[in-house]
A and B are shown apart, each in its own frame.
Chain A
């Protein structure tokens, strides 16, 4: 069974070949950096919660 490139991104010889994107808890990003791995962190925020009337108007104007 052949495997294409994408899963192959996980087939690494050592950690230097890994590039990790962390989104969510910052502690996981810190731990990755402590292990000397190439990592970036995305400080995710939940999408906006709007009041009902605003949502209603938006649905009519967009």
Chain B
């Protein structure tokens, strides 16, 4: 057993004899670990392939124009669709975006441009913590502040719940990508006598707008796939909602209800809806990865 090396410091003081040839045992261990590491990668990729494969194989037969354009039907009645759920999901994500995009970008700009202020440090930390909160807790929160007082499940409440899912993601990606805008640009702008607010709006944001867009798209994708907060706030419905203050269906809650139902026709439709959902989400994610996400310095924008 070689001495545990603290490199740099101990190298000078520890007696360490250079190996004349690498021993058999060390070679074996080295090869073994390489194999184990590759096995780990394969183990992680298998579920991804299986999940995507199953969703495509089992979901494709359910897909048709009627599936996308018809209302939900009772179990074992043919011709049921998910149109109301698709509309409901888009409605709620739209409401959530209206709330979270301005606030999230505002907070993100503040994190980056006023990074030395105390508010920025505390808020940035809280923002990270908010990212990690279980989304069901956000659903409970909105239930207590909106659904309980108004005694009404609604798309509006669902949208507010989703906005708390999106807000920290937008704020963080905005902050991170604006920090990558070179300081020299800000200095050049200030040196021309341009006031700070104009520098921030015209120089900093316009240079970092790809990052902003990435954050928004990622958060939209994330919100589209959320179930728990909507389940507690928007509930579900089998019709198109007449207003945003009524219970509203969504793709995710529909998948949950159908998958846990005992009816074969609903279970098939759950796979179909899953395929629609995954196409929307993966589409958004790939769009980000392939186009704009890449030139944010190849930095992983984790969601």
- The answer to whether A binds B is no
Interface of B toward A, CB cutoff 8 Å: none
Using CB atoms and an 8 Å cutoff, list the residues of chain A in contact with chain B: none
